[in-house]
Each structure stands twice: as structure tokens, then as C-alpha cells.
Structure 1
Amino acid sequence: AQCIAPLGMESGLIPDRDVTASSSYNDGNVGASNGRLNQEIKGGAWCPKSQITTESIEWLEINLHSVHVVSAVATQGRFGNGQGVEYTEAYVLEYWRPRLGKWVRYRSADGQEVMPGNTNTYLEKKNHLSPLIWASKVRFIPYNSHRRTVCMRVELYGCYWSAGIVSYTIPKGDKRSNGIELVDITYDGDWGAELRGGLGQLVDGQFGGDEIREAAKSSAWVGWRNDSHVEPPALIFEFDRVREFSAVHLFCSNKFMRDVQVFSEAIVSFSVGGRHFQDEPVRHTTTGDNIFEGSRNVTIKLHHRIGKWVRIELRFAARWILISEVVFDSDVAQGNYTPEILKVINAKDKTKVQTSSELPVSTARQEDPLYMAIVVGVLTALVILLVVAVFLIVHRHRHRKCFASPLAKTTVAHRSVPEHYNSSASSMLHDNKMIMESALEVKSDEYQEPYQAIRCTPYFSTVLLEMKDLVTDSNTALSDSSNYDYAVPELSSAPLLTTKRRLAENVVERAAELLAERDVDLMAVREASMHADDPRRSAASSLRSKLSVMSPSQQEIRMEVRRRIDGPPVAEFPRHRLRMITKLAEGTFGTVYIAEAECVPQYGGGIVSADTQVVAVKFLGNEASTRERYIMEEFENDVRVLASLSSPQLTRVLGVCRSPPIAVVLEYMDMGDLCAFLRRGPPPGMPLLLHITVQVAAGMQYLEALNFVHRDLAARNCLIGKGFNIKICDFSTDIEAYACDYYKVDARAPLPLRWSSWEAVLRNLYSSRSDVWAFGVLLHEVFSLCRRRPYERLTEPQVLQNLAHLEADDGMFVCEARSPACPREVYEIMRACWRRDADARPTFGELRERLERLA
């Protein structure tokens, strides 16, 4: 995730005790703790006691405790429910962190200290910081060119500084002949012949371009000339704790036509105490590149060396060395380590050392033809074995699918069915004259390949819909052996639940419709096997068995959804009835706005004549209206499916705007999302919290009956309205306030890692039972009032490692602890949701019943 998330002033994650001020006009009414962005607490802002001038000494301080990267700040004036008139037109930032030991005044890249403030009392002014700052405390100092009374509400944006670097020491950079200063101008430590005790552009995440001239504008490069230093340049990095290092990456320039090249050798040394560095440093040599001048990343493997200080000495390959960024791959080392002690060498040993240094032996550089031949032979054998293994796996995989795939050409009715395997399938012959149901039945606990929802989907960002096309076109009825093991709905090729082609016989249509249904009786399989030679009799007997197992409620829900999908298209919502209020979220595929709407249709089809209602309007990305026609077809298919869902606990599709820009109108609730509601409001009573969770379980029970998988169930994706009514949605994926709740694993899209089950994260397997896991985390959120993040003591990589322990079933998985306000009975429900075996987790129907008994 990017380092842009709010740090907690608005949401309340930063407690009142960590917000202090130099003075307040009235501590109870406009004290420091009231200076929270977008909040109307008591007087509505922090107001210093004295009036502000250009020499003001009043400040509002925020204590983050640990070092954070602050990338932006925002301010507001005092709105005070329309009564306030105070705001600050400008302000100054100061920051502090333990290694600095002093307050440092922030300066922008162009050297300006004063930052622009507000022009009214209600609109926020957000300033992005360039360069970034590393701070554990931040002060806002109001500033005004003329004396006036000011009030402020503030917010910080950024992220936790997880790299662990507390400072670095480097030689001061040199100046090029054309006047470009190749110095670390953003460095905030002590300046001299060396830069000490601070942080700057070598760790700010900004990489230099191919042109050195860019340094004149953005100071992207730090450079040293070989004739201006007696010793080679050495970079010393100090870390917060003793760490285990696996690699370091140095981003270097290679403009060899201008006497700039990547270093010829890097010598990396380590130290626990910082005074003496360990023997046997890591040496890395590079090969000069006189062909390509592009900047490049040089990676040095550090072989899990231990230290708290790392020293990198660079040897020149040309006249100049230019470095833009240094990144370490490291983890906190486990165990106790003592600082190094300087070894005293007597004269005799010293002579030996000098003698040995005269004849250096480097076996790593010797070229042994026999050794190379052995290495090449071993690698060739490994490649051959790998190719053979892949061939066997693919062959076995295809052979197995001929018997296990529901879409296979051949029938296996004459084969005996193992007792541990439970599956069912049907296929239609090319001429639709005969229907044959195989003896395989979909396993009740089988995971389905998740259906990736179309980019214009309003909510439920990834949906599993096992109710695939009930009738397949005759020319695609049979599938070859290259099909997936699991059915993947393809909306782009045919409308979902299409009604273009129907079978003549109702019993066959019902059999196909119930094909994705779970828990089919094994006796039906055996009966189908005995009558495999009579396809119609086999289908009818299987249908009778399925109808006897399927609950009436599930059957009614599915038939109702089917009726809605087959009905008329989703109604057009007149654009003139919408009035945009504010932007809620913005992502890759669209923007969501909060709006007021007139004449919103209700559940019964009635219309509120004059009242307005708050709604959410999701616009597709700008490119969607100009792309091919299938974009609109996919949009219509998705919206029709989602509009067919009818549950009081789900946000409804109210209508669509089909003229560009394409948009869909969705329900929204007056009190916003559940997470923000629980954080900012007074603590609700236990009956209300249980009432909230029962509603969420009821909404998910409805989705479970249709085999829809939400994949992002959390308090932030639940809306709350009047009467504490809950509706499940999926608006929060792109909301800036929740950006830190998503984490990118491998090359996949960002995941809600702390809410996801182990099989979803590590195996990409999603089902209603993975939603049950997320529901357990939602219970933790609700009963901790969303003021404690799940696994708050673990970083994202540690959460990932914790889930890996559960996958390995090695007994090292650490479950989320019970919060003090959570009843023991509710915590037992959470633990049931977090069972390793997905089949052992309760269904949403069972969860609803247990919570209703507690309520």
C-alpha cells in the first residue's frame, strides 16, 4: 500500500492524550483534543489563547510515539455548526524524532517554511510534503501576516517507518563542473565535512532519472568525485535494532560518457555496537558497462549477516559515483548480541597479517573449467527433471479431468464412485436430443474458482456465482479436456443466467438450474449410475433426490433471483435528480460520490414524492465510455445480477445512468460506515452491538444461499442508518482512510490481509467459509469498537507468516486475543470462525442463530 493513509486524528486512532497544545482559549471547549479534521467536537476545533502573528509561539502537537513517514498534512478552520469564523491562513511545521533529539523546522523542496492554510472555516486544505519527513512528533504552528484569532483542525497522512533506519552518515556530496550540486539537500541531521545523525533523500523512495541534470530540480542524486576525497566514500547506516540482513539495493547512475559509472566494488561491513566493525566483510564487484547509460539497481546479497550498523564502502570505476536510493532487505534478529571488542594484535601476528595481505587469495575469482563443467551438468540435469515432472503433472491433470470435470465429454456412469468422492455433473449432447447426467457430483466442500467481477461492478468486487448459465448454446455444450477443474462463469461471452435458449422440458431445465447446488445425496449418484443408459430417467431421479435435500428457503431465494434477472432491465435513473455532495472514494476503475437523490424507489416499488435520500453514485473510469460495446454489455449483465438481490441487509441498486459518464446509483446510509460510527461515537450497549452483528449475519446468510462470496467483509464495508439498520456494501476498497487495511501479496491485487482466511491468502481459494473467517474478524472489530486493528501488534509480513503457520498446522498460529469488552460467548463464536478446516467453520445461518440467542 502507498504511504498516504490518515494516521488517526479524524478516526480517533490517535487518542486525546497524545494531542497537546501550548495553550487553549478554553480547555473544555476548544482544547487540543478537539482539533481533529472533519470532527465537530464541543467547540469544534483547537483555538490558542493568544492571537497569532508572524512570530507566534503557539503550537498543536501530535505524538505518534514511533517514527512514521509523514507524506501530507491537512487543516481546517472552526466551523462550529455554522457559528465559527476562525481559521488560519498559513502555518509552519516542526518535527522531532529520538535520533535527532531536537525540533526541526520543515522546509519544502524550494526552501519555503510557511505552508498555505485555509480560506474558510469548512473546506480542508491538504498539503503534500516534498520532501517527506520522518517524525514521531509533529507540531502545527499557526502563522499570520497580521494579528488575528485562529482555530485549527488537523490530520496527518503517511505510514509507519518499517525500514528501521534511524540515521545514516555519508560524506558531503560534490559539485559538478556545470554547477549542479550533488548533495543530499533534504538531509535533516548535522552538516559538515560529513552529514551525521539524520535522514534524507537516500531513503525517501524517490529514484533518480537517467539525466543528471534532473538533480538541479529534484536533487535526485548524491555524488562524489574521486579526486576530492582521500578515502573512498563510505555510507554508514544505523538501525533501530539488531537486524538480519539478506540484501541491499543501491540505485546508481551510469552516464559513462560524462565520467559517471557504477562503483567497481562495494565492501559491506557490519557492527552490533557501532564502534568496531566485524571481520570478513561482504565484497561485491561489478562489471563495467560502457554500452548502456541507463540508471540501474545494483543488488548485493548479504547472506543473513547480523548487525545494527552497516557500513558500505564504494570503490570508484570512473571519476564519479552517483547514488539515488539505498534499500535494505532485513528482519529483526532474534536473540541477544554483544558489541564487538577490538582485538589487540602483537607484533608477530601483525607481521603474519601483513605477509598474508601481500598475497591475497580470492578463490571466488578463479576460473576452474572442471568446476564449471560440473555446475553446468548439474543444472542441465535439474532442468531435464523439471521438464519431465511438468509433463507428467500436465498429463495426469488432463487425464483426471476427463473423469472429474463437470463439463467433460465422456460419461463415467459405468464407473464406480469412491465413497470419499462426492460430485455431480450434466452435459448436453450437440443436437440437444438427449441429456445425460454423469455419476459425478459436486463435492460439498469444493472451492470454486472465484469469478472476477467486471470492473464496472458497483459492489461485491469479486463474486462467486455458482448459478452459471442454465442453458448452454448447443455449439458449446461439450467441452474439451482443457477446461478448468472448476466452473468459472464467463459474463463476457454470454449474459449471466441467459434466457435466449430454453429446453422444452421443464424437468430438464430444473435439473440444470440445480446443478450447482451442494450436498447432493449419494444415493442419487448410485441411482444415476444404474440408469446411465436412460438419460431422461437418470436426470429425473437425480432431480427428485436434489429436491428432497434442498431447503425450501434456498429454492425460493434462487427462483426469486432468477425471476428478477429474467425481468425487465434495471431502470434508468434521471441524472437531474442527483446532486453530488462529496467524493467518497476513487480507484482504478471509477469514482464513488455521495449524493442527494429525489424520488428514490422503495422496496415495494413506491416513490417518496418530495423527500431526498442520501445515495452513492459510482462512475466508471473515463476510458469506459469510449471503449468497445462489450463494456456496456458487461455493465448491464453485472448490474442486472446485483439488482436481482433483495435483502434488507444489502445495499440496493437503485438505477443506472447509461449516458456517458456511465454510472450506477446505490443505496447509502445517513450515518456512514460502521467502522467510523463505532470509532467516533459514544460506546453502544451490548444489546445494540449484538443487534448489529445479527443483521450482518442475516445479510451474509442470504448471499451464502446464492453462493455469492463477498471477499471483503469488514466493518468498513457495512453501512449504518437510522434505527441502527445495517446494510452490507463494498465501497471501502478505494477510500483513502482505509488504504492501510489492504496489502499486496506477491503480484496480486491488494488484499484485506488482516481479515482474510489462510486459504484465501496463501492458496487463492475463496468460498462462503472464507467469508465466515472475515465475519469472525468483524466481530472482533465491533466488540472492540473498531479502536483496535486485528493483530495490531503484528506487521503485515508477520500476519502473513502467522497464516502460514496455520496452513502448515504446526501449532504456532497465534489467534487474535479477546478484547476486554467482548463477552466470552461471542469470543467462542469468533474462534469457531477461525478454525483451520473450512468445513468445520459454522455457516452464516448457524452464526445468526447463536447470536440471536445471545441477544
Structure 2
Amino acid sequence: VNYLVSNILKYFLIMLVLAGSVCRYPLGMTGGKIQDEDISASSQWSESTAARYGRLDFDDGDGAWCPDVVAEPNSLKEFLQIDLRTLHFVTLVGTQGRHADGMGNEFAQRYRIKYSRDGGHWVSWRDRKGGQIIEGNKNPYDVVLKDLEPPIIARFVRFMPVTDHSMIVCMRVELYGCEWLDGLVSYSAPAGQEMTLHDQHIYLNDTVYDGAVSQSMTEGLGQLTDGSWGLDNFTQSQIYGVWPGYDYVGWTNGSFPSGSVEMTFVFDRVRNFTSMKVHCNNMYALGVRIFRQVVCYFRSESDWEAKPVSFKPIDDDTNTSARFVTVALGNRMASAIKCRFAFSDAWMMFSEVAFQSDTAAYNTSLGPRKRGHPTRVHPDDPTHKIDDSNTRILIGCLVAIIVILLAIIIIILWRQVWQKMLEKASRRMLDDELTARLSAHREAFARRLSSVSSEADSTSTYERVFPLGSDYQEPSHPLHKSPEFQFIQLIFLNEIYTAFADIVSQQPVSSRGYSVAVVTVPLPPGRDGALEEFPREKLTFKEKLGEGQFGEVHLCEARGMQDFMKEDGDGIGDEPILVAVKTLREDATKNARNDFLKEIRIMSRLRDPNIIRLLAVCVESDPLCMITEYMENGDLNQFLSRHELQDSGGDQKNIPTISYSTLIHMATQIASGMKYLSSLNFVHRDLATRNCLVGTNNTIKIADFGMSRNLYRGDYYRIQGRAVLPIRWMSWESILLGKFTMASDVWAFGVTLWETLTLCKEQPYSDLSDDQVIENTGEFFRDQNKQVYLPRPACCPDAVHSLMHSCWRRNAKERPSFQHIHSTLLEHRAELHTD
């Protein structure tokens, strides 16, 4: 009870913080706040697919907005437009396809966004590196959320589907953010300049400015209002992969004869301004200082007022930190402000400008902060926004929830005494009833089970089997409508879950990574598994890759990792490298902690060029972390899906291609890594392209992150909300008998090879439902030549197809070993180079 109460209070405080500081509210497509008349489109397929049906998670009409014509490649004629009525700060977008209860299967794989603040001038959204394409949906069901970096300030937003070939697309969308209470419509200023520092070029331009840019920036918004501010050292950035000086807009004194930089800020209406806050760099050792003086003029109607406001900041030569300088504006009324910032040294650099007024005392920057900044927030931080429109309602709801939970706690305490007395009796009754029900059905299927049991290997991890017999129906028959089948399927699913749980409990790896198919786990030969402790402060969070039941996996940037890679760290230098960090939740059970430490011990001894390597650990304090390699090109599934096969005859314009020889090279590396694991009697149990990472020169390394990533949620079959199984990659004996062996990994390799040669363009058995996939495994068991195999890839020659097919042989002992697979692929690759 104490634990529950403390967590309630903790979550209450967290929700208050989130409600007050994060601008990521749904803006009303799903909730209905955005009216039908505010949603329009370039065209519509029919009245039932009109623009008003393009609401996320709504199935009205035919389930989505669909344009009138088939979308042409790279065409931007079709769009879904949303009018937010007022300016909003949009930080996140969500998209979904059209399902319509199985009657539709259209979605936008990619799209672009355009936005406008006045409805006349439209701007194409670009990310911080200039890209315009946003990756959309992979299927019509799942909601795909994408952060807008940088966020946009707009009233009108258009979603524009982009396709590589002619196809029908449908979309449901939602926008996330909050109302733009500041009202800043644009700022104009001289264009940022370039600094040369020790032969290093520092680019201080406004990269994301959406107005006109030549010698000056005119009528737009950009980095000075994007919700992010720079570090103390202007040559560095918390954003990965950008150039030095990215966070700042800067000017040199020598380019301005007047000795000052003039900036003009235009607002949506006349406002009563109280202050302006400017985030400035102050590395005076390099000739960069905060401005010496600022003079601001105000315009309410058409002319500028003659009386300006002047302000001089306090000069502190001992403080080199970047800072916000607050300029008092004296409650002046204006719809535009023109400020002249005087140089106090060779350079002047700004990363954020914020205005406060009596009706909107908030900052212009409401978006997500740069990573690493939360520790620098102060009470007067202008990026700390409170959205009063939703906070009061949220607080009221939270208080009501707490009252209800407290009442529930009182009831629990009152019933606790007599509930314990009834607990034993209830369990005994439940066990008796369950035993009687299962016994009756086991007797009914005893003769059918005996034939299946004889097939089970004596070394099987458990002896339960799926009851297949003379009344087994073909996959084309509607088995799901049979009451008898429903009960059999329920037993079957529970058996799989129980078996899978039994196997996991016997493994040293709680995250279901490299695992052993026996209770006694042999450690790989090699040095002791202990690794050096890595300093947590040298890890910089970049992206959350996924999460599981007991922890999370993060993509991080590690500084100084070369000291921990003594064996193969040559050539890395002092540059930070990308790593994957698997963490264990602080509230994990003792068993989970022990399993996590065992996994560290085992992975520390794995040494193979095609297996992800454990580099270091953080175990001296919670949360426990293991740091592994991460390849810069991501996982193989996503990598291949972005490519087309060379000489495929299709339109290859602007699409990267990959050769068949390279695909075989990748498959050979996977076989090599699996050959190493099999030599140690390790069973992976989840081999697939999603669990293979791609590095430079198409280097492949096997990992185990797929199950924890939301991106591949559709690849796993969930059993009654508990266990998840990659059934489309599993052998028939793994599904029906619960056997996970080297031979079952060979089966999964065959599927992985099929994925590779099809460039991951579709899911294995994509034309079969999950239930039909399970039924098809029954046909493999019966072995009456009725089983369905994966189709032959278009580029697959006879020799490789024969090897692939041999991985799916019914008899596990007849499947090839990984050593044979590896040697066969090596020979085939050599023949390709000879030809």
C-alpha cells in the first residue's frame, strides 16, 4: 500500500510537470476539437473517403482520406489540409493507413509536410539536415509518430503523400503541439556568417529559417524560435552529426560599419511587451561576447515611435557561460519591434530570442529542448511554458483519480484479512476445476496425442504437444468458427507460452538474446567475463531504440570508448562513437538482476567479427547498463527496404541500389556469425534481418534488439497478452513442440536469407494471417505435401534456392549445419566474382 501511494504521488507530480512544460498535446483530429469544415483536401476518391474522415484512430466512412486519383511518383498535387484557426507550435505528427475492418489496405509509406501562417505563403518542412521526406506507415493499422525537428509554427498544415511508383494511398493524421500564444509571426535579420578558427570552419547561419534568405533573412522564423539553445562552447552541439556552430546565428563586427546588428520582430497583433530574453554566447577568449547595448524601437500602427528603449547588460569578465540576457521593455504597446544590438567584441552570437507580454508571458520557444539541457533550466527560463488551456482540467482529473485510488486502497485494507483466509481455499477449488477440465479433454485426444508424442525428441525441453489428429482441418477451412477448435487453440497457446517461459527461465539471458537450449549453460572459452566500468557521464542519449519487460535499449554517443576497446580500437581515435546501451529498470526483481549480470558475463566472452560485441558495463550503481556496439547504418531490415536491386529493370531514379553479390556477401556474414554461435552451443531463437546490424562496407553483425522495438511489433505473435513469438521465422517443432535447437536456428536462417534476397519488401508469409501460419506448421508436421513454403525470390538462382529450401526440411537432422551453409555461400560468392 505504501508503495502504491508513493507511486501515485510520484506519477501525479510527473503529470503536473509534463502538463506544464511539454508542448505535445493532440490538437484535435482525434478528439474532435478540429471541426470537419477545417479539414479539406485536394480531392477525394468518394464521399466516404472525404477529408473529414482523415482523423487518426477513427473508422467513420470508409476509414480514411483517400485522394481521387492514384498517387504518381514524387507528385505533390494531392494533399490533406488542416486549418488550426490560430497559430500553433507543432512538435509531432502521427499518421495511419486505412484498414476499414479488413476491407482496405492503403497507407502512405512516405510523405511531406507543407505549412503556412497566413494561408498564402506555403513553406516545405525540412529537417535539420535539409531532408523533406518523412517515413510513414508500413501497414494500415499502426500509428507512426514522428517528431518534427525543427518544430513548425503554423496555422495551416498539409500532409502530402509521396510514392516511388503509382499506387493508391489513404491517410489518417493527427497533429501534436500547443497554441502559439506569443504571436511572433516573423523576424528579419542579416544572414549569419562564417568564422574560421584554427583552420576549422564555423558556420553560424540560421539553418532552418523558413523565410527568404540572401544577404539578409526576411519574413520568416527559424533557429531563434525553435525551442533549442546553444552550449557554452559554440563549436559543439548536442545534435548528432551537425557542423560546428550549428546552434548559433552569429555576426562579425567587421562586417557592420555601424557597429550593430539590426533585427525586426513582427507579431500577429498589438501587444503590451514587458521583456525580451536573448540567449547569447560569451566565449570572450575567442572574441565572442554578449552585446554591449541594445536599443529597441516600437511600432503600433504604420510608423515607428521616436522614443526607444535602451538597455546595457552587466559586463562579467569572469563568466564564460552562454546565458539569457533579460531586456526590460517597459510595457510598451507594439505590433512590431526593431532592435539594434551593439557589438562589444569581434563576434556576437544568438541562439534564442523570446518575448514576454501581459497576455502571453511565455517564450517563443515551446518545442522539445536539445538533449542534455534539462539540467540547466531555471525558474525564469523563457522556454518553460505553461499551457493554461489544458492544465487546470488535467489537474482536476488527476485529483479525482487520486481520490478514487485512495478509496480503493481503503477497501483493499479492509478486505485484506478475510481475503487471505479465503485465498487457499479458492486456489484449491480453481486447481481442482482446471485439472478436471484438462483431464477430460486429454482423455478425448489421448490416441491422437500418442502419435505426436512419438515424434518428440527425447532431448526436448518439454513434452507438451499440439493435439493434431484425424479431425485436423485444412488451413482453408474456417477453424476459428469451431468451438472445439477454440478450446484446442486455447490449450495450444497456453502450452506455447508455458514452454517458452520454461525455456526462458532456464536461460542465462532474461532479454531472450543469445541463449542455450539446455539447462546447464556452457560459457564460451576466453578471458574472464568481467568488464571495466564505463563512466556514465560520458554517455549522451540520442534515441530510444526500444523497450522490454525489464528494461530499455538506447542509442547513445560514447566519449572515450577507445580506452575500453584495447583489442580492436585502432583507428577510432578520440572521436565519440555510437553504442547501444541496454539498461535494467531499477525496480526489476532479484532474478531479473541476476539474469542481467549473467548475460553480461556470457556476452563479454563472445568474440566474433559478425557478432555484436559487449564493450563495457555500468554496474556500480543503478540502473545496471551494458554497452554494446551499434552500427551506423541501423538494422538490415530497414537498410535493405530502402534499396532496389541493381538491373531490376525498374525506375532507379533517386533510389539507392544494391547488387546481388552484396546481398550474398551479407548472407554469408550472417551464416558466419551463426556458425560461431553454434560452435558454442548457443541458440539465438530470434534470427531475422531486424536483428542484424549494418556497418560500413556492408559489414553485418548479429544482435538481439528486434523484440524490444515497437517498429517490429507486427513480427511477433502475442499469446493472450503475455508471451510474444516470432512465429513467421520459427520452425514447426519450435511452435508445436517448444524445441529450440541449432536446427531451429537454421530454419530461421532460411527465412532470413529469403528476407535478404527480397530486400525486405514484405513480411514472410504476408498473404497468411497469424492463425494460418500456425496452421501451416501443422502441415509441416503431417508431411503430406500440403505445407506452404515461402516463394522463390526473383533474383535467387537454383543453388541458393536449394540451400534455402533445405533449411526448411521437416526432419531437423536433415537440415544443413551453419558450417555447411557458410561454406556453400562462400563458394557461390567466389563463383560470382569469377564470372
- Specify the structure having the higher radius of gyration (Cα): 1
Instruction: Report TM bin, short chain.
Output: 0.3 to 0.5
TM-score scaled by length of structure 1: 0.41
